[in-house]
């Protein structure tokens, strides 16, 4: 059996593709893979922040088109990059084990150790409206500037002194750099109740055609059960709040083996106020937990 995998061509995307290949091979060791590289609008347009490009699901659409055109059999994504609804005819069929879901503050090895120790006026790079809003809530004195490019490109801009710090997902950073200090950087995890992550952060998702039932069954068997439960809760939350990657909303489900806790937050675009909530529920019905978290988060919140 041969599976064609559509993916972006960045170093991180190819690492995530290898994660998926290893997952599938644990179930079916003899499968052969072909990688289909897709260049997306988000990869091509590097001179604008993501929210200004005006394409919903900017890293998803073109990659998934390869499936709809029968140029590939599955597509690999960072789950956090997928909008709340994907293209008709496609289904989220697989989920990798979750890497740490935190956002992290990254500085040079000789730089500050955490958010509190950044000097006033420090230039911090992020392309996320969510990260910007929650960061401004705790440090209004920072200069938060747009930074574009793949994670390794952003790290190079930090090392070269264009920024005093950057904020990225820990999962992407550690997939790229086994020991960040060896390339001249260090990082500090930002607590979930200070900066709630994007739904799906830390999970690699696999999209397939809904009609390819045998392949969907294989991907389901290859999936991590805990990540699947957390992902279903977070996707339901994302749909319920009506947000995408350009809304200052974050949320994460944490399955401890017994309960499912959902931590969620919303902030004004300028960070002047925020709301953080925690909801407990059953992992037997993760979508209900995500919907409950969204309803409680939005209750009484006037945007």
Tell how strand 103-108 and strand 185-189 pair up.
antiparallel
Q: What is the mean pLDDT of residues 95-108?
A: 98
> Does residue 273 sit within a domain?
no
Q: Could you tell me the CATH number of the domain that includes residue 171?
A: 3.40.190.10
Tell me, what DSSP letter sits at residue 190? P
Write down the pLDDT at residue 55: 47
> Does residue 258 sit within a domain?
no
Predicted confidence (pLDDT) at residue 51 exceeds the cutoff of 80: no
Which residues are CB-contacts of 29 (< 8 A; sequence separation ≥ 6)? none
- Which segment of 72-86, 198-212, 230-244 scores lowest on mean pLDDT? 230-244
Write down the pLDDT at residue 301: 84
At which residue do the structure tokens 């740490």 appear? 100
Predicted confidence (pLDDT) at residue 111 exceeds the cutoff of 70: yes
Domain housing 159: 103-189
Which residue among 73, 81, 99, 164 is the active-site one? 81
> Does residue 267 sit within a domain?
no
- Which segment of 182-186, 245-249, 272-276 scores lowest on mean pLDDT? 245-249
pLDDT above 70: percentage of residues in the chain: 92
Write down the pLDDT at residue 60: 75
Write down the pLDDT at residue 52: 47
218-250 residue pLDDT tens? 999 999 999 999 999 999 999 999 855 467 999
> Does residue 34 sit within a domain?
no
Q: What is the mean pLDDT of residues 291-302?
A: 90
> Does residue 136 sit within a domain?
yes
> Does residue 178 sit within a domain?
yes
126-145 residue pLDDT tens? 989 999 999 999 999 999 99
Write down the pLDDT at residue 46: 47
How many domains does the structure of the chain reveal?
1
Measure Cα distances from 208 to 30, 59, 75, 77 in Å.
Answer: 20, 16, 7, 11
232, 255 contact by CB (below 8 A): no
> Does residue 184 sit within a domain?
yes
> Does residue 69 sit within a domain?
no
Partners of 206 in the β-ladder: 76, 94
Write down the pLDDT at residue 89: 95
Q: Containing H/E element for 166?
A: strand 165-169
pLDDT level of residue 59 (50, 70, 90 thresholds): low
5, 74 contact by CB (below 8 A): yes
Predicted confidence (pLDDT) at residue 41 exceeds the cutoff of 80: no
Query: Is 43 in the active site?
Result: no
């Amino acid at each position: 059996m041969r599976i064609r995998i559509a993916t972006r061509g960045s170093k991180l995307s190819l690492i995530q593709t290898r994660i998926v290949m290893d997952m599938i091979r644990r179930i079916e060791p003899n499968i052969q893979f072909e990688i289909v590289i897709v260049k997306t609008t988000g990869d091509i347009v590097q001179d604008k922040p993501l929210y200004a490009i005006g394409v919903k699901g900017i890293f998803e659409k073109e990659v998934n088109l390869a499936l709809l055109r029968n140029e590939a059999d599955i597509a690999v994504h960072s789950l956090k990059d997928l909008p709340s609804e994907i293209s008709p005819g496609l289904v989220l069929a697989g989920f990798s084990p979750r890497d740490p879901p935190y956002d992290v503050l990254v500085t040079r090895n000789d730089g500050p150790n955490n958010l509190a120790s950044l000097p006033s006026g420090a230039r911090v790079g992020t392309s996320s409206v969510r990260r910007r809003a929650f960061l401004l809530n705790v440090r209004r004195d920072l200069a938060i500037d747009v930074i574009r490019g793949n994670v390794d490109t952003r790290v190079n801009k930090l090392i070269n002194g264009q920024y005093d710090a950057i904020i990225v997902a820990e999962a992407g950073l550690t997939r790229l750099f086994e020991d960040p200090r060896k390339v001249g950087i260090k990082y500090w995890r930002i607590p979930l109740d200070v900066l709630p992550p994007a739904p799906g952060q830390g999970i690699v998702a696999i999209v397939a055609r809904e009609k390819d039932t045998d392949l969907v069954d294989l991907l389901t068997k290859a999936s991590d059960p805990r990540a699947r439960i957390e992902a279903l809760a977070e996707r339901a939350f994302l749909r319920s709040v009506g947000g995408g990657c350009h809304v200052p909303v974050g949320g994460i489900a944490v399955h401890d083996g017994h309960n499912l806790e959902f931590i969620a937050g919303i902030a004004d675009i300028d960070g002047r106020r925020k709301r953080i909530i925690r909801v407990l529920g059953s992992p037997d019905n993760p979508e209900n937990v995500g919907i409950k978290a969204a309803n409680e988060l939005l209750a009484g919140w006037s945007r």
